């Protein structure tokens, strides 16, 4: 077993790491790069707590090998805020009490951003189906759906992309 | 606690507002640190080997090859966790559940553990441990376990609650009987009697964060444990006791907790992690996989329940009985007893009897799950109540209102109620527009009530005022869903300062006195109560400092809106002193200003809820969709309404999952077939509608602000409410939870066949 | 375990052919990584084919469509020409998992995972899709239904790697549809499923049809009797009843954690009827 050198971009920064062939992107982010925002809830792609984007595509980082992201761009919850400004999704999650325990929150934020990137004005049904890959056991999703809807409105008002 | 007149019907300034939570930014930026997010210098990775058998004798464990694998630093078995429990069977059960002692009692029971330099080495090491099992007959079904000749799970168990005490081992660990009156006479008075049997399958709390901890034990007997838990003080006591450590020398820090719902009130991996660390003399991080969480941690009981209720034609219940058989997994517990206690708590009954059986099976040890035991009992009782209402031709809400418990009612489990909310929630349901909304084709409406005791318990709070007048509130109850905001609101209310000037933190075990678990919906009730008293304690100090500054008697100083005010015309020349001024001067007026409170928070007010639910069922596939859901619950006083609503909604959502699709599926081999989120189907976002809530506030006279716990009751009515709705939609009474599509379709077909045969 | 990311199909095939121990192709990884993590497989080699240009695109060809083996299912939903031509196939592909899974999973992976419950397979079988294979002995093309050999097993030989799915051009006045049953609205594996592809002749009479069922046998079933039940009809109630009965007769399901045999059999008929109605409408029938 020998390590693989991987050069990639994480939240806009050039990053190099060495990982074992079996290691997942989630393990690399958490254990090698100190980015523990993505969580492991299941390790099988069923809960979405480890959601990140790779070249803009929403994925479960537990189902991506670290070696696969050579030359790609990885974005995580840690890169969501711009400088000292929280992203509207982040602000609305706090305002709407859209989190209780908060373990699923990073995954929801990344997934919701991916949704608003491609659909700036989603219906309630579109929000619900787009977030079906993110499990939350605390909230019953009610306040999460409302927070995403409110953030979408904010973004449209500001005329900016998610 | 005495009734605190001062705060009854008080107008609040900040309590009841929807402020942002103090840990919000950390949690939306990924900075909040949960169980698996801690790192220690030189840390090892731990992993646990688990039994693939439901019941087996462990003849021998050969770990020699694993020990020799390069990078393996420790292997532990039960031999490394000697029995130090001194005859305390409950403690030995905890130890045995953490690591099998000669017998594996369920699929997933831990038998050995390793600590290695990385996950890959740990994984390899587990594969090198050879366990010689002698497979024994097993039993996983609660009714089967009670039959004569069933495999005995714990040979030492004799049924308690039976006179004379039995001498033979049994899977029934306890029989508990509650009630009053003469049920036989009551049934004789009834015009209509409905009797029915119900079953519910086992479900899991399903918190998204798996159990995780980072343990570090030093050769000098000191140690640290970072852990996701609902109660780090209790974890400290239990772990110290099991490992033979001194309580003060084990520092336990609760991480942010990624959901618990009762499942994180028990130790599972923590003693093992500590044992590994002690043996390796290195920190050990131990994180469960999802598969391990399902196989080896706290599911709730599966149950089998018989209910019989009789009533007069004008809608008065004359008698009610219930027999409730709850499986506790492989270790004795009190879940059947709690089921028996809660079953008829909503009603004012003259003649009532409930009998609970606690039954052992070869499944994981059952842990609390949100109002543990109450939902299954309510499913049986509330379903029967609906059938009875239909038989006598009475509206189900009206029928319940007629029989609802009220202040002065003697509860079926013993006590006499004070002011309670069951009547008001039913009235609110009756008046709710949801009740009158039209229903479409294949749709049905159901409603049901629920009860939970709520608990108080040992609580301890520190309140420290900084030199700028800002306040650090230090609590010891873990924040499972926004309680830090509620605590800060309460402190701000008492002190008369803005919410933003209070910072609430959860202390580790070396920084504060003992606090019981965050369980029994006690967090906001108990720590809230202690916060009120700690703040009042600090106000005493603030008044003294002001009196000293002014050189007047302290009795002439009052605390108003965050300021000390000198009373009486003789002091009208003294301008008030703010908390900031008093804090700034504190170095010269007597030093730091603080308030403390240690209390056993008695008087947690009982809690009631009524839920209304509409469903649509596809008659060709049996698939059910919840199309509208309303929760009405008494909160006593909602400190932070957002998080009260959140508890209502979350409990309802878990109940919906339980009612429709969640279940443990065991194979004939006694192994769990679906230990993952793919096939253990919890509700996803697109499964649910918005969940409407209505908060009622019937103050708890035992709490200074009238608070009742709100966390648990909301999971009690959904099983029954949805069963009633589905039964109304398909025209067949559903008696088996979950009402999965195959069960519904089968019931529809059987009913159709019966109707055709009758015609 | 070794990880390789070759640039050509030939290299990929050679790597797979030369592997001493167990070797697996990695495209979306949504099944492979789950099995890897559970310890179910201990690969010596994993070959990532996403860097091979021939696998990366959806191409419109003279004879239909060619969907590269590493194209994630989400991309099928974004291709309007494909969606218009084979709506049932695209819907089936888009039903697999969440948005997160859609960003990675592939229909070739779905096929090679060889689960009888694979969502895209009944739709592909109904559509008459083929797979283009590159192996040590060159290229070959076979019908999709020839690939799964049983749960978790394929008919691919050592060193053979699928490059693309090949879909024909739909016939005029044809339509396809796919439906599955899951207890939740998302995230489940099909408990039972049905794909229907049919072509109309004059006056809305069905000229030809293919009906495929999922999760009712060790592999996806192509049910000829079900097709026969609706060919020559205008999908009236009698034809639908015959279709339902033919589907139920073909089922040989098992009881498992996801559903009972009885349930699967009954609902297979229900879904086939419903899918046939949708396909019929898509073909222009009324």
The full 3-state SS of B49-115, as one line of letters, equals EECCCCCEEEEEEECHHHHHCCCEEEEECHHHCCCCCCCCHHHHHHHHHHCCCCEECCCCCEEEEEE
**Chain C contact for A133, CB < 8 A?**
yes
CB of B640 closer than 8 Å to CB of B482: yes
Size of interface A-C (CB pairs under 8 A): 88
Q: Position of tokens 């005329």?
A: A159
How many angstroms separate the CA atoms of B425 and B631, rounded?
9
Residues 6+ apart with CB under 8 A from A21: A1, A4, A65, A67, C1, C2, C3, C46
B38-79 per-position pLDDT tens digit: 999 999 999 999 999 999 999 999 999 999 999 999 999 999
pLDDT value of residue B521? 86
pLDDT value of residue B191? 98
pLDDT value of residue B8? 54
| DSSP 3-state of B215 | strand
pLDDT at B418 over 60: yes
What are the residue ranges of helices labelled H in B137-200?
142-146, 183-189
pLDDT value of residue B4? 42
Which of C81, C77, C74 lies closest to C59 in space, CA to CA? C81
- Interchain proximity B291–C38, CB inside 8 Å: yes
Tokens representing C219 are 């592999």
Average pLDDT over chain B, rounded to an integer: 96
pLDDT value of residue B7? 45
pLDDT value of residue C231? 98
C13-61 per-position pLDDT tens digit: 999 999 999 999 999 999 999 999 998 999 999 999 999 999 999 999 9
Q: How far is CA C266 from the centre of its chain?
A: 22
**pTM of the predicted model as reported, rounded to 2 decimal places:** 0.97
Based on C-alpha coordinates, what's the Rg of chain A? Answer: 16
B303-311/B103-104 β-pairing: unpaired
Which of A95, A94, A96, A92 lies closest to A113 in space, CA to CA? A92
Q: Is C192 exposed, middle or buried (0-12, 13-18, 19+ CB in 10 A)?
A: buried
- Interchain proximity B620–C39, CB inside 8 Å: no
pLDDT value of residue B9? 63
- Interchain proximity B686–A132, CB inside 8 Å: yes
Which of B404, B406, B411 lies closest to B449 in space, CA to CA? B404
Q: Given pLDDT bands bounded at 50, 70 and 90, which one contains residue B545?
A: very high
Q: Given pLDDT bands bounded at 50, 70 and 90, which one contains residue B1?
A: very low
- Interchain proximity C1–A21, CB inside 8 Å: yes
CB of B412 closer than 8 Å to CB of B349: yes
B78-133 per-position pLDDT tens digit: 999 999 999 999 999 999 999 999 999 999 999 999 999 999 999 999 999 999 99
Chains that touch A (3 or more CB pairs under 8 A): B, C
Instruction: For helices B270-280 and B89-98, give the axis angle rounded to 10 degrees.
Output: 70
Strands (E), chain A: 4-10, 13-19, 51-54, 57-60, 73-75
The pLDDT of B524-538, averaged and rounded, is 96
Which of B730, B584, A113 lies closest to C100 in space, CA to CA? A113
**Chain B contact for A109, CB < 8 A?**
yes
How many angstroms separate the CA atoms of B125 and B66, rounded?
5
C221-222/C206-214 β-pairing: antiparallel
pLDDT value of residue A1? 55
pLDDT value of residue A63? 98
How many angstroms separate the CA atoms of B489 and B504, rounded?
9
Chains that touch C (3 or more CB pairs under 8 A): A, B
- Interchain proximity A67–C185, CB inside 8 Å: no
CB of B54 closer than 8 Å to CB of B106: yes
How many angstroms separate the CA atoms of B419 and C233, rounded?
70
- Interchain proximity A40–B36, CB inside 8 Å: yes
The pLDDT of A96-113, averaged and rounded, is 98
Report residue A67: phi and psi, to 5°: -65, -25
How many percent of chain B have pLDDT more than 90? Answer: 96
CB of A137 closer than 8 Å to CB of B206: yes
B178-197 per-position pLDDT tens digit: 999 999 999 999 999 999 99
How many angstroms separate the CA atoms of B359 and B170, rounded?
9
The pLDDT of B643-672, averaged and rounded, is 98
CB of B265 closer than 8 Å to CB of B519: yes
Q: Given pLDDT bands bounded at 50, 70 and 90, which one contains residue A160?
A: confident
How many angstroms separate the CA atoms of A122 and B305, rounded?
45
The side-by-side arrangement of strands in the sheet containing B624-634 is B443-452, B607-617, B624-634, B691-696
Which of A108, A155, A104 lies closest to A127 in space, CA to CA? A108
Which of B426, B484, B407, B370 lies closest to B610 in space, CA to CA? B426
Residues of chain B in contact with residue C183, where contact means CB-CB under 8 angstroms, are: 623, 660-661, 681, 740-741
CB of C215 closer than 8 Å to CB of C188: no
For chain B, the farthest-separated pair of C-alpha atoms sits apart, in whole angstroms, at 96
| DSSP 3-state of A101 | coil
ipTM confidence score: 0.98
The pLDDT of A95-110, averaged and rounded, is 98
Q: Which helix (H) or strand (E) holds B485?
A: helix B483-495
How many angstroms separate the CA atoms of B631 and B634, rounded?
10
Residue of A109, A133, A135, A148 to mutate for C, most C C-beta atoms under 10 A:
A133
The pLDDT of B650-679, averaged and rounded, is 98
pLDDT at B2 over 90: no
B residues 359-398 closer than 8 Å to C (CB) = none
Chains that touch B (3 or more CB pairs under 8 A): A, C
In chain C, which stretches have pLDDT less than 50? none
How many percent of chain B have pLDDT more than 70? Answer: 99
Q: How many CA atoms lie within 13 A of A80 on its CB side?
A: 34
Q: How many residues does chain A have?
A: 162
pLDDT at B585 over 90: yes
pLDDT value of residue B758? 87
Which of B519, B38, B483 lies closest to B231 in space, CA to CA? B519
């Amino acid at each position: 077993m020998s390590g693989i050198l991987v050069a990639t971009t994480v939240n806009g920064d050039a990053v190099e790491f060495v990982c074992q062939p079996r290691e997942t992107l989630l393990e690399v982010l958490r254990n090698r790069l100190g980015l523990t925002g993505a969580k492991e809830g299941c390790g099988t792609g069923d809960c979405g707590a480890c959601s990140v984007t790779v070249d803009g595509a929403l994925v479960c980082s537990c189902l991506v090998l670290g070696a696969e992201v050579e030359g790609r761009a990885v974005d995580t919850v840690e890169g969501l805020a711009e400088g000292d400004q929280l992203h509207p999704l982040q602000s609305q999650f706090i305002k709407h009490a859209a989190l209780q325990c908060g373990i699923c929150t990073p995954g929801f934020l990344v997934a919701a951003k991916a949704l608003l990137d491609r659909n700036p004005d989603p219906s309630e049904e579109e929000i619900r189906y787009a977030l079906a890959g993110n499990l939350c056991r605390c909230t019953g999703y009610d306040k999460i759906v409302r927070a995403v809807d409110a953030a979408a409105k904010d973004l449209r008002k500001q005329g900016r992309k998610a | 606690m005495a009734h605190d007149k001062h705060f009854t019907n008080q107008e609040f300034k900040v309590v009841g507002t929807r402020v942002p939570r103090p840990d919000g930014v950390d949690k939306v930026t990924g900075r909040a640190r949960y169980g698996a997010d801690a790192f220690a210098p030189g840390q090892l990775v731990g992993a646990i080997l688990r039994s693939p058998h439901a019941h087996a004798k462990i003849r021998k464990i050969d770990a020699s090859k694993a020990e020799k694998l390069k990078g393996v630093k420790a292997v532990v078995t039960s031999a490394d966790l000697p029995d130090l429990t001194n005859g305390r069977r409950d403690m030995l059960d905890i130890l045995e559940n953490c690591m099998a002692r000669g017998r594996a009692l369920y699929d997933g029971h831990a038998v050995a553990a390793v600590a290695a330099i990385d996950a890959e080495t740990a994984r390899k090491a587990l594969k090198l441990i050879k366990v010689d099992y002698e497979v024994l007959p097993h039993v996983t079904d609660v009714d089967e376990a009670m039959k004569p000749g069933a495999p005995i799970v714990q040979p030492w168990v004799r049924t308690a609650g039976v006179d004379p005490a039995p001498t033979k081992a049994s899977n029934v660990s306890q029989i508990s009987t509650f009630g009053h009156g003469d049920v036989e006479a009551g049934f004789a008075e009834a015009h209509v009697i409905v009797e029915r049997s119900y079953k519910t399958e086992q479900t899991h709390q399903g918190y998204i964060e798996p159990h995780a901890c980072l343990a570090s034990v030093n050769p000098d007997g000191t140690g640290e444990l970072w852990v996701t838990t609902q109660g780090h003080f209790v974890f400290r006591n239990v772990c110290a006791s099991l490992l033979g450590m001194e309580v003060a020398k084990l520092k336990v820090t609760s991480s942010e907790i990624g959901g618990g719902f009762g499942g994180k009130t028990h130790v599972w991996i923590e003693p093992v992690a500590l044992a590994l660390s002690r043996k390796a003399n290195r920190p050990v991080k131990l994180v469960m996989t999802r598969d391990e969480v399902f196989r080896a941690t706290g599911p709730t009981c599966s149950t089998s329940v018989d209910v019989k209720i009789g009533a007069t034609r004008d809608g008065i219940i004359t008698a009610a009985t219930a027999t409730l058989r709850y499986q506790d997994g492989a270790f004795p517990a009190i879940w059947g007893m709690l089921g028996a206690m809660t079953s008829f708590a909503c009603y004012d009954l003259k003649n009532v009897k409930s009998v609970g059986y606690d039954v052992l099976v070869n499944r994981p040890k059952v842990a609390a799950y949100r109002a543990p035991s109450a939902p299954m009992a309510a499913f049986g009782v509330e379903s029967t109540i609906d059938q009875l209402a239909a038989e006598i031709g009475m509206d189900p809400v009206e029928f319940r209102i007629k029989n609802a418990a009220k202040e002065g009612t003697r509860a079926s489990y013993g006590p006499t109620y004070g002011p309670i909310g069951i009547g008001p929630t039913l009235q609110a349901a009756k008046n709710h527009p949801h009740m009158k909304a039209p229903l479409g084709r294949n749709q049905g409406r159901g409603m049901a009530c629920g009860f939970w005791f709520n608990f108080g318990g040992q609580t301890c709070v520190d309140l420290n005022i900084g030199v700028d007048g800002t306040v650090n509130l230090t609590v010891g109850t873990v924040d499972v869903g926004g309680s830090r905001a509620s605590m800060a609101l309460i402190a701000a209310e008492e002190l008369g300062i803005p919410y933003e000037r209070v910072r609430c933190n959860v202390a580790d075990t070396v920084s504060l006195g003992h606090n019981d678990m965050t369980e029994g919906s006690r967090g906001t009730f108990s720590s809230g109560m202690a916060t009120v008293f700690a703040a009042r304690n600090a106000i005493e100090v603030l008044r003294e400092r002001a009196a000293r500054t002014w050189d007047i008697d302290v009795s002439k100083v009052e605390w108003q809106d965050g300021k000390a005010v000198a009373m009486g015309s003789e002091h009208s020349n003294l301008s008030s002193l703010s908390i900031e001024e008093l804090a700034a001067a504190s170095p010269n007026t007597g030093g730091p200003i603080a308030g403390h409170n240690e209390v056993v928070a008695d008087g947690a007010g009982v809690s009631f809820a009524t839920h209304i639910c509409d469903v649509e069922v596809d008659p060709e596939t049996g698939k059910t969709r919840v199309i509208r859901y309303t929760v009405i619950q008494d909160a006593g006083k909602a400190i932070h309404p957002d998080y009260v609503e959140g508890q209502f909604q979350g409990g309802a959502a878990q109940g919906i999952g339980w009612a429709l699709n969640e279940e443990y599926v065991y194979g004939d081999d006694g192994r769990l077939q679906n230990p993952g989120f793919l096939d253990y189907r919890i509700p996803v976002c697109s499964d649910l509608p918005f969940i409407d809530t209505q908060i009622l506030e019937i103050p708890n006279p035992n709490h200074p602000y009238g608070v009742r716990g709100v966390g648990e009751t909301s999971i009690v009515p959904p099983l029954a409410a949805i069963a009633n709705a589905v039964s109304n939609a398909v025209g067949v009474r559903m008696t088996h939870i979950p009402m999965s599509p195959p069960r519904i379709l089968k019931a529809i077909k059987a009913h159709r066949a019966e109707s055709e045969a009758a015609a | 375990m070794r990880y390789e990311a070759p640039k050509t199909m030939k290299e990929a095939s050679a790597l797979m052919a030369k592997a001493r121990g167990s070797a697996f192709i990695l495209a979306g990884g949504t099944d492979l990584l789950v099995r890897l993590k559970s310890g179910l497989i201990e690969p010596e080699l994993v070959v990532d084919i996403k860097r091979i240009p021939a696998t990366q695109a959806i191409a419109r060809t003279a004879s239909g469509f060619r969907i590269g083996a590493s194209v994630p299912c989400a991309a099928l939903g974004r291709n309007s020409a494909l969606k218009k031509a084979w709506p049932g196939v695209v819907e089936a592909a888009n039903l697999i998992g969440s948005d997160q899974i859609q960003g990675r999973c592939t229909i070739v992976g779905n096929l090679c995972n060889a689960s009888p419950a694979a969502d895209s397979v009944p739709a592909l079988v109904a559509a008459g899709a083929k797979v283009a294979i590159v192996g040590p002995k060159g290229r070959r093309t076979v019908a999709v239904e020839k690939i799964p050999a049983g749960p978790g097993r394929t008919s691919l030989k050592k060193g053979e790697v699928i490059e693309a799915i090949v879909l024909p051009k739909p016939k005029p006045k044809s339509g396809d549809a796919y439906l599955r049953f899951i207890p939740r609205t998302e995230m489940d594996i099909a408990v039972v499923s049905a794909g229907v592809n049919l072509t109309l002749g004059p006056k809305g009479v069905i000229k030809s049809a293919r009906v495929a069922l999922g999760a009712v046998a060790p592999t996806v079933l192509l049910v000829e009797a079900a097709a026969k039940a609706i060919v020559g009809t205008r999908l009236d109630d009698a034809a639908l009843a015959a279709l339902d009965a033919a589907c139920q007769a073909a089922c040989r399901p098992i009881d498992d954690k996801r559903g009972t045999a009885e349930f699967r059999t009954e609902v297979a008929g229900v879904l086939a009827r419903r899918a046939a109605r949708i396909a019929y409408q898509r073909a222009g029938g009324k």
